[in-house]
Amino acid sequence: MIAGLTAADIAEITGGALRADPGLAVPGPVVIDSRETAPGAIFAAMAGDHADGHRFVPGALADGAALALVTAEVEGPAVVVDDVPAAMAALARRSLEVLRERGEITVIAITGSQGKTSVKDMLAGVLGDQAPTVAPRGSFNNELGVPLTVLRADADTRYLVVEMGARGIGHIAYLCGIAPPDIGVVLNVGSAHLGEFGTPEITALAKGELVEAVGSGGVAVLNADDHRVAAMASRTAARVATFGFAGEDVRLTGEVTTDAAGHPHVLARVEGADRDLTVAQLGPHQVLNAAAALAAARAAGIATEAAVASLATAGPRSPMRMERHERADGVIVVNDAYNANPESMEAALRALAGLADTAHSVAVLGSMLELGERAREDHEAVGALAASLGIGRVIAVGDHAEDIARGAGAIAEVAATPADAIRTLDRSLRPGHVVLVKASRGERLERVADALLAADR
């Protein structure tokens, strides 16, 4: 956040009522979890589904917060606003405006139906090797996550990477109003949130709001292998850079291979020269994510050689995204339980197939949410894909477990709960087994991965 703000400044920017000494110094950061309170912080009290943040204001102030951002009167220094997320957005918008006025900062925004967090992590690694970089923690990609990310930037920040998700038309346009992008990256248009969007065409309409927000002096980085994304070139005034096997700026060529650890390799042609693109994340699908990160890094002014070198070491920074763990007994657990849709399920299963032979591969699969009318069909297809790839065993959990098992056939078994899945695995895992855990976030299937990795095992 910009330095030198006072409580009066916060009230003016957010349009709130000041309940503090106007000259009170508020150096930041902004937090929504009182456990993350730091000296001088603004504690934004959110009224959540499970707890009202206003209850934690006294504790946050006692732990050193300078100011509370609230919607109700509280004891202690505060700014009372009508809407806390909107106030955070206003504060982030103004903070970025001042940072741009005072120095050089490049904003790179990323969207897509899947792969956003992987590309964000890769790009943050590449850019961070060159200059101070701020990127989202985890998957902070909504009306709270974007302001929180922007507000971590300061006068030293050279690159600001933001991840943008959407649940409907207008969402990404709103986020771009908070963090207007210099570079906009669109990865793909898939099946994620079809229950909300309805059709891939409406999803594309929403995702394309990102490139519409990039000005004529910026760059729109588009996936040439996805026809809906490639068509977004007509929706932007920015220069267009494309990536993928059909890409012009970064073209992947030849066969994708993987090493013993599951890290993929491919040739990438940039400006007529081939480079060996090695990706420090699991699965063949990561080469396309790496191509996106390489194209975005080049658009930000990073030399190709430097970006390629960084990608070879830019492993996952966010939890539960193809996290590879090896137990003392030799069992490997791949925790990819943060989210799932048909495309990401396919990518994860193909990665598992490359990591272990039929006798040693186990896929623990939970439900994919927000698929709408295609839910049953898509879950059956995931099970069928696992069988066709030669996965040795599928343990299906959740509301659509029967659908997954129906598609997987003889290799499948149904666990009524994650606890049942854990007990089944405890009885059967042996050294050399590789276990993939994958489901939508609402299924909380990371409990299976966590149990398998518990210290007492």
Q: Looking at residue 384, which CATH number applies to its domain?
A: 3.90.190.20
Q: Give buried/exposed letters for 327-341 (b at 16+ CB in 10 A, else e).
A: beeebbbbbbbbbbb
For residue 449, which phi and psi values (nearest 5 degrees)? -60, -45
Q: Letter for the amino acid at 452?
A: L
Same-domain pairing of 67 and 177 = no
State yes or no: 113 annotated in a binding site: yes
In a domain, 148, yes or no: yes
Domain count for the chain = 3
pLDDT at site 12 = 97
Query: Both 373 and 237 in a single domain?
Result: no
Q: Is residue 310 a known part of a binding site?
A: no
Same domain for 153 and 15: no
Model pLDDT, residue 195: 60
Do both 134 and 234 map to the same domain?
A: yes
Mean pLDDT (the chain) is 93
User: What pLDDT was estimated at residue 47?
Assistant: 83
The average pLDDT across 122-128 equals 96
Q: Are residues 250 and 177 in the same domain?
A: yes
**Does any domain span residue 95?**
no
Q: Is the pLDDT of residue 83 over 80?
A: yes
Considering the domain architecture, whether residues 306 and 330 belong to the same structural domain is answered as: no
Are 78 and 166 found together in one domain?
no
Q: Where are the beta strands (DSSP E) in 305-418?
A: 323-326, 332-336, 361-365, 393-397, 412-415
Q: Give the angle 303-307-308 at the CA atoms, nearest 5°.
A: 120
Q: Is 366 annotated as a binding residue?
A: no
115 is in an annotated binding site: yes
Give pLDDT tens digits for 316-366: 788 888 889 999 999 999 999 988 889 899 999 999 998 888 789 999 999
296 and 261 share one domain: yes
Please check if 76 is assigned to a binding site: no
CATH at 50? 3.40.1390.10
The total of other beta-carbon atoms located within 10 Å of residue 447's CB is 17
**Host domain of residue 129:** 103-312
Lowest mean pLDDT of 233-242, 255-264, 284-293, name the range. Answer: 255-264
118 appears as a binding residue in the annotation: yes
Q: Does 58 have pLDDT greater than 70?
A: yes
Q: Which residues of 358-371 are buried (b: 16+ CB within 10 A; e: fewer)?
A: eebbbbbbbbbbbb
Q: Is 440 annotated as a binding residue?
A: no
Q: Is the pLDDT of residue 92 over 60?
A: yes
Question: pLDDT tens digits, residue range 24-38?
Answer: 999 988 999 999 999
Q: State the DSSP string of 30-70.
A: EESSGGG--TT-EEE--B-SS-BGGGGHHHHHHTT-SEEEE
Which of 292, 312, 332 is the C-terminal boundary of a domain?
Answer: 312
